[in-house]
Structure 1
Amino acid sequence: MFRGSEALAAGALTRAALRGPRYRRLLPDVYTPAALEPDLALRSRAAYVWAGNRGVLTGYSAAEMLSAACAPAGAPAELALPGTHPKAPPGVLIRQVTLARDERRTYQGVELTTPVRTAYDLARRCSLAEAVVAVDALAGRFGFAPKEVLGLARRYRGARRTLRLPEVVALAEPLAASAMESRLRLVLVLGGLPRPAVQYRVPDRRAHVVASVDLAYPEQLIAIEYEGADHFAGHRVVRDVHRYTRLVDLGWRVYRYTADDVYQRPARMVAEITRALRHPR
């Protein structure tokens, strides 16, 4: 990633080459090789370069850089900048926040908020479900207890939207394996169903573990799985078929849901699991 003006000044590129098919302009004067996918991590780095390699990446940008992906599709790059600054270009969100020295770190050449501070910011800013998703992802990735978010709330008494943080922390589950698994769990819990076990290890009749399922109601022998795109790859399909067969053979009912179900048919999911819980085997 580089500034086009600097490459031109150094004679490393011509203006024609910069505008050609080999490079992609992500932000004003910020370019990358066209082969790179402009995902949130790349766009966040571009925002940092656009700001003159200053400021601090926050929120979803910090989470993405920390390999705790939890952003909804299309989330903008987020950057905290002190004082006056140029108007942010489309796709970049400038935050005005107070950060203590122990709430920021240097990672892979950029400044960003620490995992706990990132969780605190997202837990206050997002909807309840997305706040829990963020805390799940960050706490699971870095091994901190979700209640550490409440420590920052005590540091910043009176900050906006901190009153709901205990609810976010109570709903958090660091064992969640992905953001979409967290969203699936929250559809059920916020829909009024009992809290399911997470990453439950299913034993056979000799107490040997035969499968680990995303969510489970063990007493009712109900397994609930989130099926992302990776589940439909050739080798994964075969492995899943064997796993589901073992579960059914042990008397489990397996409910499999996709992103379309989570986002477009949550009421149907809640109704299906409600019926299953009311009529156990």
Structure 2
Amino acid sequence: MELLDLLRTQDGLVRHDQALALGMSPAAIWRRVEAGEWLEIHPRVYLSATHDLTPRARLRAAALWAGDGATLIGLAGAAWWHLTDLAPETVAVAVGRGGGHSPPEGIRAVRRDVGDAARVKLDEVWVAHRADAALEAAAGLGLLEGARLLDRALQQERVAVPSLRRALERMGQRHGVVLARRLVALAEGGARSEAERDAHRQLRRARISGWTANLPVDLPGPGRAVLDIAFPEHRIAIEIDGWAFHRDVDRFRRDGLRQNEVVIGGWRVIRVTWYDLHENPGYLADVLRRALAASAAA
């Protein structure tokens, strides 16, 4: 391979030993650095001045510095898999329990063994398997941002729930496993039931009464429906959604038809999601009070 080809395939980056293997001498490498043609991004890792240090180039530069025995993990791994647009401020690489030098600024060397069965070479960079990278990244981002990452990945069929469950088992007792366990439970279908419980708690905390959970109502079109939360006196219904992953096209269509019939039946419908309840805990009580006030004034 020619040098220009290597630079093209490596986002404008080249490692010292790669340049030597292509026939360059240490003096020739040093002359390019001195002339500003190559910029030393990390020790012995150079970026051609004709290329930008893009977010993807930052990830590759860290991998080049760490060597083939290292693996991109966590948010860095998820970004390499294109599971997120979030660029990690510090690129995490697993370097083995006994390997690796002190990392330069911008790289975090994690003393963890990642066997060949748990990683894959993608675009010439070793990275943790997709589900493992996604789950560790999600746990590191926190509940809300982690949920968004996994929800999008599941919607796009980039990861599957069974693979997340296996990734959770491989985490063992590592830092972040408690949140990872909760995220997997939400992905498996627990988001909607958790949202329902949160909605009940928020209504009680706001001292809003007059509601019934899971109220069955008879509708002329689809027959009997069950309203998640209902205020029968005011004919106001709260419908609760979990993660978007669980609403495929067919279910989305059925929910829309069902909601139309509920509205035709004389109910006002308020939809809230798991995200609404967690991001803005005061939203449900606020919108409901306004709906109740409008009903009373009608």
Q: TM-score, normalised by structure 2?
A: 0.55
Q: Distance in 2 between matches of 1:53 and 1:77?
A: 16
Aligned pair in 2 of structure 1 residues 167, 63: CA closer, same or farther (>3 Å)?
same
Q: Distance in 1 between matches of 2:284 and 2:35?
A: 54
> Displacement, 1:93?
0.8
Partner residue of 1:77 out of 91, 94, 104: 91
> Displacement, 1:158?
4.2
Choose 87-96 or 269-278, whichever is displaced more: 269-278
Structure 2 residue ranges without an equivalent (≥5): 1-12, 190-197, 204-239, 258-267
Partner residue of 2:269 out of 219, 243, 250: 219
Cα deviations by residue, 1:222-242 (Å, 9 ceiling, x for unpaired)? 89xxxxxxxxxxxxxxxxxxx
Q: Partner of 1:53 in structure 2? A: 68
Choose 152-161 or 97-106, whichever is displaced more: 152-161
Q: Partner of 2:24 in structure 1? A: 10
Q: Partner of 1:104 in structure 2? A: 119
- Greater helix content: 2
Partner residue of 1:275 out of 286, 290, 294: 286
Root-mean-square deviation (CA), in Å? 4.3
**For the Cα contact (< 8 Å) 1:115–1:142, is it kept in 2?**
no
Aligned pair in 2 of structure 1 residues 126, 96: CA closer, same or farther (>3 Å)?
farther
The higher radius of gyration belongs to: 2
**For the Cα contact (< 8 Å) 2:75–2:136, is it kept in 1?**
no
> Displacement, 1:2?
0.8
Q: Distance in 2 between matches of 1:106 and 1:69?
A: 19
Q: Distance in 2 between matches of 1:221 and 1:156?
A: 36
SS of alignment partner, residue 116 of structure 1: helix
Q: Partner of 1:42 in structure 2? A: 57
Structure 1 residue ranges without an equivalent (≥5): 175-187, 208-217, 224-265
**What is the number of equivalent residue pairs in this alignment?**
213
One-letter code of the match for 1:17?
R
Identity %: 19
Q: How does 1:1-281 map to 2 (within 5 A)?
A: 1-4=13-16, 7=19, 10-11=24-25, 13=28, 15-71=30-86, 74-82=88-96, 83-146=98-161, 148-155=163-170, 157-172=172-187, 195=241, 198=244, 219-220=269-270, 271=282, 274-280=285-291
